[in-house]
Structure 1
Amino acid sequence: MSDDSQDQTAYPAATAAAAVPPVPPRATSVGVDRTGLAILLICLVSFIFAVQDGFSRFLGDGYPPVLIVMIRYWVFAVFVIALVSRQRGGLRRAIKTRRPFTQIARGAILVSETLVILEGFVRLGLIETHAVFAVYPLLVAALSGPILGEKVGWRRWTAICIGFVGILVILQPGSGVMRSEALLPFIAALLFALYGLLTRHVSRDDPAVVSFFWTGISGAVCITVVGIWQWEWLAPVDWLWMAGLCSMAILSHYLLIRAYEMAEAAALQPFAYTQLVWVSVIGVLVFNEVLRPNVVTGGAIVVAAGLFTLWRARVRAA
């Protein structure tokens, strides 16, 4: 897995309220084209992530979002330790980082993004939150210049501007219907863009397995420091929902790893946007959300601009 691909696994994971850190690379079969199977896995993972978001919103309606995220991170930390232990060098190798402060910052930023987007699910609903959050690849492109010193050409700047027009179509500023809560998914997208850029930055010195370990562990520590003060026991039936949520998170992450073992991230990223379809279905059928025309139109503009930006990045890399 290339360094650039490590932060392109992001979209479906991020909106699952426990975003996926870089995937530890494993050996793949040489000379075997399994891109088709990888695409099917990404589509399946996107569906599972959408269901997870529905679970997260359901639990977030009855409990503090920080509590939901904290429990999920505890389970995720156990998963990280178990998975990393099976890698070459095990935990001893994963702990060794050349950029500990940056790795901790990544974990803290990712926890913050998870909290903000879960709050968006509760206040705005799944559909509108996802439609705005889809701007994150454009923010990555816009910030890659000042943060990483990368050159962003006029074509990608044009796509970025068009994407922000899509956000304005979704939010409808000045129409009297825009609420302050509408900024939550945009803030989450900005945080996730920063996380992705820092991931690319540390990949210059640390292998993916190290970033994977530090993201899970530092994130669990950060959310525990903040969230332990809001601890409360879930109702017995809600523990079942939480168990299902954590189980799906582990399954989806495992399938995501398998998919990125089979094909390059650039080939799979466009299919991650199928999560928007599943989220819309769940939002309408389960939570009685309204699929407003301006959200559909603006979301389509944002996704199209994001796909173009990803395509241009792939062309430049080639």
Structure 2
Amino acid sequence: MAPTPDEQSRTRTLEGVLWMLGSGLSFVAVNGIVRHLGTELPAAQGAFIRFAFGVLFLLPMLVQLLRRGLPAGTLGLFGLRGAVHTAAVICWFYAMARIPVAEVTAIGYLNPVLVTLGAALFFGERLAFRRIAAILVALVGALIVLRPGLRDLAPGHLAQLGAAAFFAGSYLFARRLSDLAGAGAIVGMLSLSVTIGLLPFALLVWVPVGPVPLAWLALVAAFATLGHYCMTRAFASAPLAVTQPVTFLQLVWATLLGALVFSEGVDPFVLLGGAVIIGAISFITWRESVLRRQRSSAVIQNG
């Protein structure tokens, strides 16, 4: 007996949740390894080695891509995205080695909020009152995490705020590129351009690196690739309104990792602030899905 549409929908939803769980655990593994390496390697050098391994993993695809050539008008956009993403990665590696894992994760939740603001500023997308309110709530969540004035903000906190802003800029470039190039070209050129962008910064601070850190950074590249793959499968399996709230569990895993492995204290304000940010993001995502359904229904009725 064939499954009913409701049963198929529930199955797809469960698949989406499980893929997003896998994505979150993969990215927590990335965080844990980079935290474990600490300041053993300069941030730029560690980031360069990680992305160089990523290029090796994608080399067969990159060779085919470069043989075919890039779509017209995309080379400059790929270069600009690579520059912005390079800055984001350096900031993230710096922050990850210096502040608790849970705080890096919670501040990183600001990325979608900044993307929403950037889309309004650069793409002319309308900011309805509900979206503005959700953005303000997310910023309150960030203030709960950082608590400026109530404690000293370390350079790592500022670096992670910078990383969130730069990653948002990279995502906006990716949205523009998605109209001009395929997903494979976008992923492959990101790895290649960031590796090239990181190289001069890495050479400026290069220190001898042994086989053990190299092996750890290869694992970082593998887990990061797996995390993005799981996230892509999650988005294909279930609506964002379903999968987005699951990302809050990444903060729970990060908190447990910091407490059990690195003896970091559990800060309830970080958990609260992260929950507030994720709640705001989930609301924005839910509203977007509702509006898309309404527009689709209107098109069908008017067709």
TM-score bucket of the superposed structures, by smaller chain: 0.7 to 0.9
Q: 1:127 to 1:32 in 2, by over 3 A?
A: closer
Is 1:162 the counterpart of 2:137? The answer is: yes
Pairing of 1:138-287 with structure 2 (within 5 A): 138-263=113-238, 267-287=242-262
Q: Does residue 133 of structure 1 match 2:108?
A: yes
Kept in 2, the 8 Å contact 1:124–1:182? The answer is yes
Q: 1:94 to 1:291 in 2, by over 3 A?
A: farther
Aligned length: 286
2:110/2:138 contact within 8 Å kept: yes
Q: Distance in 1 between matches of 2:189 and 2:70?
A: 7
Which 10-residue stretch deviates more, 99-108 or 154-163?
99-108
Give the whole-Å Cα distance in 2 for the aligned partners of 1:265 and 1:79.
Answer: 28
TM-score, normalised to structure 1's length? 0.81
For residue 75 of structure 1, what is the aligned residue in structure 2?
A: 53
Partners of 1:80 and 1:263 lie apart in 2 by 27
Kindly indicate whether the alpha-carbon contact (under 8 Å) linking 1:60 and 1:68 is maintained by their aligned counterparts in 2.
no
C-alpha distance after superposition, 1:131-166 (max 9, x if no partner): 112111111112211111111110010010111111
Mark the CA change 1:110 to 1:166 in structure 2 (over 3 Å): closer, same or farther: same
Task: Give the deviation of 1:208 after TM superposition.
Answer: 2.1
- The CA deviation string for residues 189-209 of structure 1, in whole angstroms up to 9 with x for no partner, is 111111111111222222222
Q: CA deviation at 1:279?
A: 0.9
- Out of 43, 48, 54, the position equivalent to 2:32 is 54
- Give RMSD over aligned pairs: 2.5
- Contact persistence 1:164–1:302 (CA under 8 A): yes
The alpha-carbon deviation at position 261 of structure 1 amounts to 4.9
Shift in alpha-carbon separation, 1:193–1:242, aligned structure 2, 3 A: closer
Question: 1:268 and 1:131, CA in 2 relative to 1: closer, same or farther beyond 3 A?
Answer: same
Shift of 1:47: 0.5
Structure 1 segments unaligned to the other structure (5+ residues)? 1-30
Cα offset, 1:91, TM superposition: 4.2
C-alpha separation in 2, matches of 1:274 and 1:93: 41
Q: How many Å apart are 1:129 and its aligned residue?
A: 1.4
Q: How far apart are residue 43 of structure 1 and its match?
A: 0.7
Preserved contact between residue 95 and residue 214 of structure 1 (Cα < 8 Å): no
Query: Would you say the 8 A contact 1:134–1:302 is kept in 2?
Result: yes
Given that residues 97 and 206 in structure 1 are in contact (C-alpha distance below 8 angstroms), is that contact kept between their aligned partners in structure 2? no
Q: Describe how 1:1-16 pairs up with structure 2 within 5 A.
A: none
Cα deviation, residue 182, structure 1: 2.1
Tell me if 1:40 matches 2:29.
no
Say if 1:35 and 1:262, in contact at 8 Å, map to a contact too.
Answer: yes
In structure 2, give the amino acid aligned to 1:45: S
| Residue equivalent to 2:90 | 115
Q: Which moved more, 1:233-242 or 1:197-206?
A: 233-242
In the aligned structure 2, how far is the partner of 1:247 from the partner of 1:202? Answer: 25
Report the CA distance shift for 1:163/1:258 in structure 2 as closer, same or farther (over 3 A): closer
More helix by proportion, 1 or 2? 2
1:235 to partner: Cα distance:
2.8
Query: Which structure's CA Rg is the greater one?
Result: 2
Whether the 8 Å contact between 2:98 and 2:156 is mirrored in structure 1 is: yes
Single out whichever of 289-298 and 151-160 deviates more from structure 2: 289-298
Contact 2:245 2:279 in 1 (8 A): no
Equivalent residue letter for 1:239: L
Relative to 1, partners in 2 of residues 1:233 and 1:42: Cα closer, same or farther, differing over 3 Å?
same
Change (3 A) 1:116 1:146: same
Aligned CA distance change for structure 1 residues 311 and 83 (closer, same or farther; 3 Å): farther
Moved more, 255-264 or 282-291: 255-264
| 1:252 CA displacement | 3.5
CA contact 2:53–2:221 (8 Å) conserved in 1: yes
Q: State the TM-score, normalizing by the size of structure 2.
A: 0.85
